Structures are given as structure tokens and as C-alpha cells.
Amino acid sequence: MSRFFTAFVALVVSAMPALAEGLPLKVVVAGETRVVSMEELESIGVSGFRTTTTWTDGAQEFTGVLLSDIATANSVSTGTVIVKAINDYQAEIELAEIMSAPVLLATRMNGERMSVRDKGPYWVVYPRDDHPEFADERHNFKWVWQVDSLEFK
Amino acid sequence: MSGRLSEFMALARYGFLALFAVLLGFTANAFIELGDVQNRIRYRIPENTIWAAAQTEIELARTLAQLAPLAAGNRAGSGPSLPLQFDLLWSRAQLYRSGALAAALQSQPGVKASFDRFQADLTNADTFVKPADAGDREAALRMLELLTPHREAIRELTMTSLNNDRKEREELSRNHDLLQQQLSRFGSAAAILLGFLLLYLLFSERRARSLLNDAKSAQAQMQKAQARSEEQASQMELLARKATTASKAKTEFLAMMSHDIRTPLNAIIGLSEIMNRDETDARKRQYIETILRASDSLLSLINDILDLTRLEAGKLSLSPGEFSPEELVREVMDVTEVLARQNRNAISVEIDPDLPAALIGDRDRIRQVLMNLVGNANKFTVNGRVSIQLRCKRRRTGVVTVRFSVCDNGRGISESLQKRLFQPFEQGEDSRDARGGSTGLGLAISERLVRMMGGSIGLESEPGKGSTFSFELDLAFAEATSAALPNKAKQELNLAGLDLLVVDDTPANLLVAESMLQRLGARTVTAASGEEAVEIAKQRRFDIVVLDVLMPGMDGPTAMACMRDSGMCADAAFVAMTAYSMPKDKARLIQAGFDAYIARPVRMKQLGSALAPLLAQLSGPREQVAPAPEAVVSPDGSIDLELIRSMAEDIGEETFRLLVNQAQVETEQALEKLEVSVSNGDREAVRQSAHKLAGLLGQFGLIDATNAARILEAKATTSALDQTLPDMRDIAIRGLSALRARIDQERVNPHRIAA
């Protein structure tokens, strides 16, 4: 499945490169900032699920990289991750939470890249349909969209 | 009443419970609802309304802030580039077009319309983003013109959201309060109900507790009562035991007393008999006879008490034997005749011819009962008739039912007295006045004796007309004639030629026993203690040793054991003499090794019956001198009464008296002659004189004397005569004086020679 998606993403990226241009993701680990391109990010491994959200009509298919995979790729397993948005909005997520559930840093919705106007290019998506414990609006503040940086602490 | 009340209480209880359940349900529902409201308050979606509006307002402000320098022809300020800023604004506006916010806008058409306009202007402005970013002032101005008017609208949106939020909050709060009120109301009601319920439970529990306490106290009282009744029962048991013990003590006391009275009585009767025999002064003899009568009555009283005591203790045992009913009745008649004569009563006897001549039963006990009944009849009848009847009621193989009845036409017995007549110590109202007195025990003893023998005493009486006492007994019988009956009296008699050692620590008793044994013909030696007796027995042989059982120092059984072990009396027959007369005492003594037993007071007859069985075992001249079979012997055993009675009848009383005198003279002469012969050593002369004397004495029924003479005759040629003669002489003289005494006692009634 993920291979199919990888191949699919590669195809789409090559077809529409403009959308995510100029908006690289900053990953801060132990105070050190590294800028990661979407391709680099997705090379960690792409996952996906279908879920409803508070901000969309009906369930959507999201794909992207699991926050747990990103943490593992950066050799982080404890602490918190502060997710910041382009407009300076930020939310702090317990690493324990993302390590035990497939929380996605989505790069696509319904197979398509997301523009800033559509909460792209990165959107933290919780699997609220598969995991009813997240189907609570108390978790809504962590659905950070237009993500600019991930800071592991 | 209480049933209805309890029904009502039960109903009330159920009502309470139902109400409580309903209230609890309401409370729980209210509580859940309240929780829901609280959740709604807590998790209301701020970003959906205020947040989203405020963010939109901020993004719009930032976009306008970026456009302002561009429109003025300057470079844009810091922050994201215009296209990115416009994208951010766009994305905010997009939020109202889908999801929860879009749904929220549906209910607010005014807001939605202004949003639609905003969206339209955004779309217009979008076309100017690139030129404006490239430095086109017109484009930037155009964008400002398009977007600036919406600041107010967005601002208004934010305020509206805030107001809406406040309203929602207020409503929720109101709902919350309402629910809380409801909750508190239901809760209070439930609490009150719960309180009632608790009170009720408390009351119930207290009631239950009090009931339990009542039950407990009732139980305690019951236990107390039970303990009390148990205590009473044990007290009663104790009393019963005490009573039994007291009764036992009484019995033992009576037995002791009888013993203690019998001992002196032994001396009184025995010595009186001897004195009576030897006394010639008529006045003195009268006194002695009075003493004897009084002693006899005292003895009969003691015997009565003893009998009753034994009967009540169940210690009296029957000793059945063969007896002649005819002889029995005659004896009873003889004995009671004195009283009959005193009250001038005519006695008649009627014996069923079908009655067997010999019956088997306890003769002495039957005689005792008859004696009592006949004695009573004579006592309470004056100038009347007393009849003794023996009827044969049923006769089966070997067993006959004999009805003994004693009839009188005396004063009779009142009905009230009849009922308690057989109780101990009950007497007729005036029986104390009756001559001879009464212990009041006679009938009680008789009734018990008859019952013991398997019968019952019946009484028919009418005051003034007379009484009939009767009892029936089933008695076995033997097909024998009265002639074949052993006559105890005949066997009791003769101890002539036998040497007896008599041992007693009481001189008077010793004298009585000695006298009586001598009267029976025995040669006696006396000892005053067990030790002395043993000493004597070492030197001399005796045929019979009569021992007092209780003596200070060596007692009877011990002395017997010593004599049996050593000395010359090892083969002697030992006879115990004691005032204890319970059957078990006798058994104990026989077990200790005694050959026979004599109960005190010692009487001739008892001596005879005790010693008779021993005589058969003893060798010697005894067997040669058996008296004539038809002889009727006087109680002291020395005179053949039948013989002298017939003599007196044949030759007349006066002549008989003369003959007796003559016999006395002749005897004295013969004895003198014998003495001379003995001192001369003329054995043949002795033999002849003795033979002659035996004939003389035998003529006058002097059995002992005759026997003694015959012994002398037999021994004359072989033995030493120095000792035999004085004995023989004594016996003869005594026999003669006894005969004189009998003659002097003789009454008008020819049958009453012996009393």
C-alpha cells in the first residue's frame, strides 16, 4: 500500500511541483534546526487513513508521514513535540501520544497535495474515526495545519 | 386490628420505596443531564466561532497591513509575503464554507450573506495578489478597496460570536442552574425520604431490638423458672431422700431398740419362768405370773414392731413347711382360750372335712394371723360366740384354696374405722380399754403377712352385730396323714447325756440359758467370756457349745474358731446365741461356721428347735431314748402332757395329785438308794434301781427324768457313776417339781393343762 502511495506521490510531485515549493518543513532536534523537503520527509515512509474532521464535510482520505516515524527517524522517543504553524499558532503534543497511535503529518488529502489555502502543505491529522479517544474536541487544538516546524524537546 | 395496622405499614413501606426509587431515577437523570451540560460548557468549540472569527479578523488585519505600504508605493513590511498572507486569509475564510462552522452559519443567514460577500471580494482580490506583490500600487489599492470594508463585518462577526457565546453560556448556565435546582430538589426529597426510611429502619430496628430484648428476658425468666423448678425438684428429691433415710433410720432404730429391750427381757422372762417353776408360795407365784404376762405382752409388742419393720423393709421371708391345719387351729384356740374365758365367749371350730390333713405353707405366719384375728374377736366380744372356720374353696391338683375366717357376734366395727383398720397404729376407739391392751399393729401385720402369702384379708362388719375377718390362701398339700407329720415339739426335747458349754458375758442370761439347757437334760458348764470358754474347752470335751455372739473381748465367732482349731471341742456342734433376729443375721452366723442359731429371749421351744437337728449328728445314748411318738410335750420339754392329761382324766384329778406326791416320795427314796449303791460300787444294784426309777418317772410323763434314769441304767455296768447319778437325781427332782407346777396350774378346762 505504502509503496503504491510512494509511487503515486512521486508521480504527482513530478507533475505539480509548484504547490509545496518554498515551504520546506523545519525539524528541530536538540536545538538543531534542519530543513526537510517534502520528498525527504516522505522518504521516511508514507502512511494513511480515512477519517472525519471538524473542518471538512464527511470523511477524507489522508496520507503522509506518521509523527512517530519522524520521531524515530530523528532518534527521539520521549518528551514532547511543539508543532508550529506559519501564522505562529503552536501546539504541544506528548511524544507518548504519537508513539502509541498513528498520528499523521498529512501531506495529501484524497491523494492531492494540500495548498496553504487548504490547510497545507502539512496538517497534523488524528485518526479520530479509528481511535474514538481522539474523537473529542479537546484534541482539536492539536490538529495544527499549515505546519511550519516540528520541534522535538 | 394489629393485622390491619401491619398491612398498612407494609403498604406504606412499599409506597415509600417506590417514591424513593422514582426520585432517585429523576435525580440520576438530572445528574446525567447536568453532566452533559457541563461537558457542553467545558468543550464548547471556541475556534468554531469566536476563535475562527478572531483569527479571520487577525489575518485580514495582517493582509491589510501588508497591502498598505504597497498601495503607498513602499516596500511591504516584515512577515510573510503577500501571497502567503493572502493564502492564510483565504484559508480562514474557507473554514466557513465547510465543516462545523459552515453548519453554524446556516442558522445565521445575515452572517452567511456577509461571508458570501467577503468570499466574493476575496476571489476578486485574488486576481490582484501577484501584481500587487510585484509592486503594482493600483492592484494593491484595488485589493485594499475590496478587503477593507469587510473589517467591520468580520469585527461584527467576532462580536456576534462573542454575544452568541455569551448567550449560549448564559443559557447553559441557566440550564445548569435549573438542573442543579432540580437535582437539589429531587436530592432533598430523596434525602428526606431516605431520612424517613432510615428513621423507619431505626424505629424498626429499635422495635426489633426491644422485641428481641423482650424475647430474651422472657427466655431468661423461663430459664429462671426452669432453674427454680429444677431446684425445687432437687429439694424435693433431697426431702424424699431425707425421708427415706429417716425411715431407714427409724427401722434401724426399732431393730436396735428391739435388740436392747430383748436382752433384759430375756433375763426377765427366763428367770421368771425358772422362779415360777421352783416357787411354791402361791402369792409369789401370782406375782411372777403377772411379771410373765407383762413381759409376754412387752415381747409381743416388740415382735410386732419387728415384724412390721421387716415387712416394710421387705426383709421378712416366708419359710414354708408342712403343717396340719387342724393342729394349727387347736393351738390357736389353746393360746387364746384364756381371753375367751375371761370374756365368757364360746369358741367353736369348724374345719371342712375336704381339707387335706397336711398343707404346705408358713405355719408360723398363718398361726400369727389367726392368733391375731381370734385374739381380737375374743377381745371385742363379751358373752358371745367366736367361731373359727377353715373352708376348702377350690381343690386342684396339689393346690387347695383355703378360706380362713374368724367370726364373732361382738360390738362390730364402724364403717369409718373399717377403712383404716389395716393401717399401722390404728385402733378401735375404745380398744385401749380392752383387756390385754393392743399395739394397733396386729391387723396391719396380719394384712401384710396375708398379702405376702398371696392372699388378702376381707372384713364384713356391722356395729352391734359382729365382725367376720377372713382371708384366702392358695396352699399346696401333700397326701399325708397327720400322724406322719413331724412333731417338732417331740424332737426338741432330750439333751440328756449331752455335755454343753454355755458362754455368755451376762450372768443372768447365762443362768437362764444354763437352766433351760439343764431342764432339757443337758449337763452344762458355764463360762463368762470367750477366753474362759476356750480355756475350758482345752481341758474338756463338749457335745454342744452355746456361744453368745457379742461379748467383750473375744466374741462368739472368734471363740468358736479357737475351739475348732485346738482343744477337745473340735468336733462339737456350735450354737450361736444372739438378740439379733433378722434372717440375714442368721445367715451370716451360719456362714461363719455355726451349726445352729438361737434368737433371744431364749425359750425352751426355740432351744429345742435349734438343737434338735444337731442331735441327729451326735452319737451317744440320745437315740435310745426317743419318746413315745404320740407324746405331747410341755413347752419346757420335760413332761408328757398328753400322758398326764389322760392319767388325770382316767384316775381323777385329786387322785392324780396324790399319786404325784407319792411319786415324789418314791423317787427321793430311789435316788437315796441309788446313791448308796453308787458309793458302794454295786453296779448291778445301780442298774436295777435306775431301771425301777425310769419306770416310775416314765409313768408320770417325766420324760427327761426317765431318759436320765435310762442312761444311768445303760451306763451302770460300764461307766463311772459318780457324776451321772447327781445329774440324774437333779433331773428327776426337777421333773417332779415341774409336774407339780403343771398340776397346780391346771384349770377347769381339761384341755388347758399347758398354757
Residue A15 CA: distances (Å) to CA of A11, A69, A116: 6, 26, 18
Burial string for A93-125 (b: 16+ CB within 10 Å, else e) reads bebebbbebbbbbbbbbeeebbbbbbbbbbbbb
Predicted local distance difference test score (pLDDT) of residue A123: 92
- For residue B12, what are the CA distances in angstroms to B8, B9, B201, B580? 6, 5, 13, 90
Report how far residue B486's alpha carbon sits from residue B483's, in angstroms, rounded to the nearest whole number: 8
- Chains A and B form CB pairs within 8 A to the count of 45
Q: Measure in Å the smallest separation between the Cα of B45 and chain A Cα atoms.
A: 7
Per residue in A48-90, pLDDT (tens digit) is 999 988 888 888 999 999 999 998 888 888 889 999 998 888 8
Q: How far is A82 from chain B (nearest CA, A)?
A: 20
Q: Are A55 and A48 in contact (CB under 8 A)?
A: no
- B750: CB partners within 8 A, 6+ apart: B645, B648, B649
Whether residue A121 has a cis bond before it, omega within 30° of 0: yes
Q: Note whether B91 contacts A118, CB cutoff 8 Å.
A: yes
Backbone angles phi, psi at B681, to 5 degrees: 80, 15
| Facing residue for A116 by CB, picked from B55, B91, B101 | B91
- Indicate the DSSP class of residue A17: -
C-alpha cell at B275: 422362779
User: Residue B294 corresponds to which amino acid?
Assistant: A
The phi and psi torsions of B706 (rounded to 5 degrees) equal -60, -45
Phi, psi of B502 (to 5 degrees): -110, 125
Give the residues of chain A that fall short of pLDDT 50.
1-21
Cβ–Cβ gap A57/B101 under 8 Å: no
Contact residues on chain B for A136, CB-CB shorter than 8 A: 43
Instruction: Output phi, psi for B676, to 5 deg.
Output: -60, -45
The position carrying cell 463360762 is B527
What's the confidence (pLDDT) of residue B688?
Answer: 76
Q: Is A140 on the interface with B (CB under 8 A)?
A: yes
CA atoms within 13 A on the CB side of B589: 27
Burial class (CB in 10 A: 0-12, 13-18, 19+), B145: middle
A57 with B98: Cβ contact below 8 A: yes
Set of chain A residues whose Cβ sits within 8 Å of the Cβ of B90: 116-117
C-alpha to C-alpha distance for A25 and A28, rounded to whole angstroms = 10
3-state SS string for B84-112: HHHHHHHHHHHHCCCHHHHHHHHCCHHHH
Q: Residue B454 in contact with residue B383, Cβ under 8 Å? A: no
Look at A55 and B95 and tell me if their CB atoms are within 8 Å: yes
Does the CB of A110 have a partner CB in chain B at under 8 Å? no
A149–B contact, CB cutoff 8 A: no
CA distance B308 to B316: 9
Residue A60 near residue A109 (C-beta atoms within 8 A): yes
* Whole-Å CA distances, A59 to A50, A51, A62, A109, A128: 6, 5, 9, 10, 10
Evaluated on CA atoms A130, A133, A137, A139, the torsion sign reads: negative
Tell me how far the alpha carbon of residue B556 is from its chain's centroid: 39
3-state secondary structure B115-159: HHHHHHHHHHHHCCHHHHHHCCHHHHHHHHHHHCCHHHHHHHHHH
B87/A57 CB distance under 8 A: no
- Burial (0-12, 13-18, 19+ Cβ within 10 Å), B438: buried
Cβ–Cβ below 8 Å for B48 and A86: no
CB atoms within 10 A of CB B248: 11
Task: Summarize pLDDT for B456-489 with one digit per residue, the tens.
Answer: 888 888 888 889 999 998 888 765 443 333 443 4
Look at residues B667, B643, B647 and name the one whose alpha carbon lies nearest to residue B656.
B647
Could you tell me which residues come within 8 angstroms of residue B2 by beta carbon, excluding any fewer than 6 positions away?
Answer: none
Per-residue pLDDT, B324: 86
Contact A55 B45 (CB under 8 A): no
CA distance A85 to chain B (A): 11
Which residues in chain A touch residue B88, judged by CB atoms under 8 angstroms apart? 86-87, 116, 146
Q: Are strands B385-396 and B346-351 parallel, antiparallel or unpaired?
A: parallel
DSSP state of B31: H
Q: Tell me whether residues B45 and A138 touch, CB distance under 8 A.
A: no
ipTM score assigned to the predicted complex: 0.79
Distance CA B452, CA B43 (A): 117
Beta-carbon separation of A55 and B100 below 8 A: yes
Q: Cα B169 to the chain's mean position, in Å? A: 99
Q: Give the span between the Cα atoms of B585 and B614, in whole angstroms.
A: 20
Q: Which of A53, A118, A137 sits opposite B45 (nearest CB)?
A: A137
- Considering only residues 6 to 35 of chain A, which have any Cβ-Cβ distance to chain B shorter than 8 Å? none
C-alpha B290 chain-centroid distance: 49
Contact B596, B610 (CB under 8 A): yes
Residue type (1 letter), A42: E
Phi, psi (degrees; rounded to nearest 5) at B600: -85, 155
The CA distance from B625 to B491, in Å, is 11
Reading the block at residue B36, the C-alpha cell is 452533559
Chain-centroid distance of CA B642 in Å reads 57
Decide if B98 and A138 are in contact by the 8 Å CB cutoff.
Answer: no
Say whether residue A54 is in contact with chain B using an 8 A CB cutoff. yes
- Nearest chain B CA: its distance from A137 CA (Å): 7
**B441 and B425 Cβ atoms separated by less than 8 Å:** yes
Which of B58, B80, B98 faces A86 most closely, judged by CB atoms? B80
Report how far residue B755's alpha carbon sits from residue B337's, in angstroms, rounded to the nearest whole number. Answer: 9
Residues of chain B contacting A55 with CB distance shorter than 8 Å: 95, 98-101
As separate numbers, helices (DSSP H) first and strands (DSSP E) second, chain B gives: 24, 12
B380: number of Cβ within 10 Å = 22
CA distance A142 to chain B (A): 12
In contact, B188 and B53? CB cutoff 8 Å: no
User: Given phi > 0 = left and psi -120 to 50 = alpha, else beta, which region is B444?
Assistant: alpha
Task: Inspect the interface and report whether the beta carbons of A55 and B87 lie closer than 8 Å.
Answer: no
Q: Cβ–Cβ of B48/A117 closer than 8 Å?
A: no
Output b/e per residue, B687-696; b: 16+ Cβ within 10 A. Answer: bbbbbbbbeb
Question: Would you call A54 and B91 a contact, using CB atoms and an 8 Å cutoff?
Answer: no
- Test B84 with A57 for CB contact under 8 angstroms: no
Phi, psi of B455 (to 5 degrees): -125, -165
CA distance B402 to B370: 13
Q: Can you state the angle between helices B641-651 and B653-680, rounded to 10 degrees?
A: 120
Q: What is the DSSP string of B329-348?
A: HHHHHHHHHHHHHHTTPEEE
**Any B CB within 8 A of A51 CB:** no
Between the CA of residue A101 and those of A48, A84, A125, A128, B491, what are the distances in Å? 13, 20, 11, 10, 140
Residue A87 touches partner B, C-beta closer than 8 Å: yes
Chain B positions touching A115 (Cβ under 8 A) are: 87
Mutate to test the interface with A, among B47, B89, B91, B95 (most CBs of A within 10 A): B91
**pTM, full prediction:** 0.37
Segments of chain B scoring below 70 in pLDDT:
1-3, 38-48, 76-77, 259, 425-440, 478-493, 507-508, 579-584, 600-606, 616-637, 643, 646-659, 662, 695, 719-722, 744-755
Residues B478 and B358: beta-carbon distance below 8 Å: yes
CA B400/CA B60 separation, integer angstroms: 155
Cα B425 off chain centre by: 27
CB pair distance less than 8 Å for A136 and B48: no
What amino acid occupies position B351?
Answer: I
Residue B249 grid coordinates? 433410720
Q: Which cell is A36 given? A: 526537510
Nine-digit cell string for B411: 360390738
Chain B positions in Cβ-Cβ contact with residue A141 (cut-off 8 Å): 47
